[in-house]
Amino acid sequence: MKRYHLTTFGCQMNEHDSERMKGMLESLGYREAPGREEADLILFNTCSIRESADNRFVAHLGEAKRLKTENPERVVGVGGCWSQSMKERVFERFPFVDVAFGPGQIPKLAEFLTSDSLTAQGYFEFEGFSGHLPMKRTREFQGWVQISVGCNCRCAYCIVPSTRGREVSRPPDELVAEVERLAADGVREVTLLGQNVNSYGRDLRGEGRASFAELLARVDAVEGIDRIRYTSPHPKDMREDVVRAHAELGALCEHIHLPLQSGSSRILKAMRRTYDRGRYLDRVALIREHVPDCALTTDIIVGFPGETEADFEDTLAVVEEVGYDSAFTFVFSPRRETEAAELKGQLSHAVKRERMDRLVEAVQRRASERAQRFVGRTMEVLVEGPSRKDPDRLRGRTRHNKTVHFAAEPGAAPAPGELAEVEIVSATSTTLAGEAKMLAAAR
Ligand code: SAH
Ligand code: SF4
Ligand code: F3S
């Protein structure tokens, strides 16, 4: 029996693609190896969103090279966004790689493995959603559903449009059927994935068309699904119907990840985000109006070319005003073949670092203040397993997407995948702590 080892870098799309890769390999008779040393097939699912992602991966690839030299029978494969952005250059730079493929070409890996080909192969076409593959889920009770692939936006800093191609939505009937299968298989929480979920469906034609809000309602109606999440919406396309859905649909969680990127309208324009600070804050106001308690999280980039101290202060001001429950903060990283990499006004590392420190301070302080609203409340927690820090406690997530570490009566501890009612006793910027009251009823 052949064994594979797969390392995943990057976002949830890649994690989901890896589940599909694993399912496909297992259907070919491969089993997962505990480490690269034991593997006949060494695979990487790569990311290229920032330079640090490239570097991390290339360091791992060194080990694959060593193992391949020890045993030339081993197959080394590189999939994902880095691979797509390098195309045939993968083989020039790393001649020991046997197969390279982009995110849309996962099934081609099976084709390669089952053919007798001894020459290295690259597969980099864009073909929309890459077909139905069995998936091997990391968690039994949580599932991802890819609602669209690709991205039609042209954010000046971003490599994704060139690694994932044009946006293609999957038909709603197909998606609902997939969610039904997941629910029948024990999944209680689904996360709908797309680079811009709000533009979902715009490319669909004919009878089977649905908007994102309509899709949410159909997924909400699937029996057994207690929680729905999605990522990411784009502020330019976030409409009232989707915001209202958060108030109206029982399973749709009280959490919206609304990427800001910058609080300066000037920088947003240079980024080609096609909204300005005012429009963004309007979306926030709309969310707060319909779902006052909604958790808001975001992505922010500091040090975009030409960002002045005043621009950066605009970003800080939005952070202060919105009070995010958490934020992913990134230092701008020039990416190959993107517009922003060529712009004048690239900032020094020292300036980016200094702004990043101030941003993180503001984000954490506001997140910690915001989190205090949960203290004293009893909240529904989807149990994920034992707490990593303290195995006597359990860990789970609230509908607001906050991690909770909590104690439960010995003998009455809820199992992973169950919903528990937990009384929150304290809160930091990142986690909540509490005590389990009882099991919550399924919705
Ligand atoms: N499609 C999603 C995000 C995909 S990338 C969206 O638009 O929200 C995730 C995040 O990485 C982005 O939101 C952005 O904040 C960050 N990012 C992307 N390219 C970057 C770059 N070149 N440098 C720094 N951060 C970047
Ligand atoms: Fe990148 Fe912008 Fe598309 Fe997100 S919306 S994937 S940031 S181009
Ligand atoms: Fe995701 Fe990285 Fe590609 S963030 S879409 S795996 S470049």
pLDDT at residue 93, rounded to an integer: 94
| pLDDT (tens digit per residue) in 262-319 | 999 999 999 999 999 999 999 999 999 999 999 999 999 999 999 999 999 999 999 9
Q: In which band, very low, low, confident or very high, does the pLDDT at 407 lie, cut at 50, 70 and 90?
A: very high
> Which residues have any ligand 1 atom within 6 Å of their CB?
49-50, 157-158, 160, 195, 232, 234, 259, 261, 299, 301, 330, 332-333, 335
171: DSSP letter = P
> Is beta strand 148-149 parallel, antiparallel or unpaired with respect to 168-169?
antiparallel
Same domain for 9 and 72? yes
> Which residues have any ligand 3 atom within 6 Å of their CB?
10-11, 13-14, 47-49, 80-81, 159-160, 163-164
Q: In which band, very low, low, confident or very high, does the pLDDT at 131 lie, cut at 50, 70 and 90?
A: low
For residue 41, what are its two tokens? 């097939």
Q: What are phi and psi of 438, to 5 degrees?
A: -170, 175
CATH of residue 316: 3.30.750.200
Same domain for 108 and 146? no
Same domain for 7 and 119? yes
Q: Confirm whether 40 is domain-assigned.
A: yes
Q: What is the mean pLDDT of residues 113-118?
A: 84
> Quick one: how many helices (H) and strands (E) in the chain?
13, 19
Name the domain count of the chain: 4
Range of the domain at 108: 3-123
Same domain for 144 and 242? yes
Q: Give dist(CA 65, CA 94) in Å, integer.
A: 8
Closest atom of ligand 1 to 299 CA is 15
Same domain for 146 and 246? yes
Query: Are 44 and 55 spatial neighbours (Cβ–Cβ below 8 Å)?
Result: no
Task: Give how far Cα 267 sits from Cα of 226, 228, 270, 271, Å.
Answer: 39, 33, 5, 6
For residue 6, what are its two tokens? 């797969």
Task: Give how far Cα 349 sits from Cα of 81, 213, 328, 337, Å.
Answer: 26, 42, 19, 21
Q: Give dist(CA 317, CA 320) in Å, integer.
A: 5
Among 154, 159, 163, 301, the mutation site with the greatest number of ligand 1 atoms within 8 A of its Cβ is: 301
Query: What's the residue count for the chain?
Result: 443
Burial class (CB in 10 A: 0-12, 13-18, 19+), 259: buried
Q: What are phi and psi of 330, to 5 degrees?
A: -130, 145
The pTM of this model reads 0.95
User: Whose Cα sits closest to atom 3 in ligand 1?
Assistant: 195
Q: Confirm whether 276 is domain-assigned.
A: no
User: Whose Cα sits closest to atom 14 in ligand 1?
Assistant: 299
Q: In which band, very low, low, confident or very high, does the pLDDT at 116 lie, cut at 50, 70 and 90?
A: confident
Which residues lie below 8 Å from residue 52, measured CB to CB, with a gap of 6+? 333
Query: Are 249 and 218 spatial neighbours (Cβ–Cβ below 8 Å)?
Result: no
